[in-house]
Amino acid sequence: AQSVTQPDIHITVSEGASLELRCNYSYGATPYLFWYVQSPGQGLQLLLKYFSGDTLVQGIKGFEAEFKRSQSSFNLRKPSVHWSDAAEYFCAVGTLSNDYKLSFGAGTTVTVRA
């Protein structure tokens, strides 16, 4: 069964600084990978996804993520954070066949300080 690990429970970053959120997955084949963001009391918004092809994926709100098969990672990055980026971020993994669910990591809470 696939699993997702987000090693950082909480990250604090200054406004304007860069941000990197880590995600590691465990799965026997090439997974489908997603990053979602959740503001307090809200549902999940899709930031970006990786299915195949170019391993550097661009998403909304200036986010990007890089798939590294050798490291089983799919880290999320943003060059310069804004106060509005404060939220909880979830990495999720799906599969190529016979399994339709998303498996989520426990999430990373991002706090942005002025």
Partner 1 sequence: DAGVTQSPTHLIKTRGQQVTLRCSPKSGHDTVSWYQQALGQGPQFIFQYYEEEERQRGNFPDRFSGHQFPNYSSELNVNALLLGDSALYLCASSLAGGSGGTDTQYFGPGTRLTVL
Which residues are near partner 1 by CB under 8 A?
4, 32, 34, 36, 41-46, 49, 90, 92, 94-107
The size of the chain, in residues, is 114
Nearer to partner 1, 67 or 105 (CB): 105
The CB-of-66 to partner 1 minimum distance in angstroms stands at: 19
Would you say 40 or 114 has its CB closer to partner 1?
Answer: 40
Cα(43)–Cα(47) distance, integer angstroms: 13
We find the least distance from the C-beta atom of residue 113 to partner 1, in angstroms, to be: 22
Choice between 18 and 45, CB closer to partner 1: 45
Q: How far is the CB of 37 from partner 1 (least distance, A)?
A: 11
Taking the least distance from each CB to partner 1, the nearer of 10 and 18 is 10
- For residue 41, the minimal CB distance to partner 1 (Å) is 8
Burial of 62 (0-12, 13-18, 19+ CB in 10 A): middle
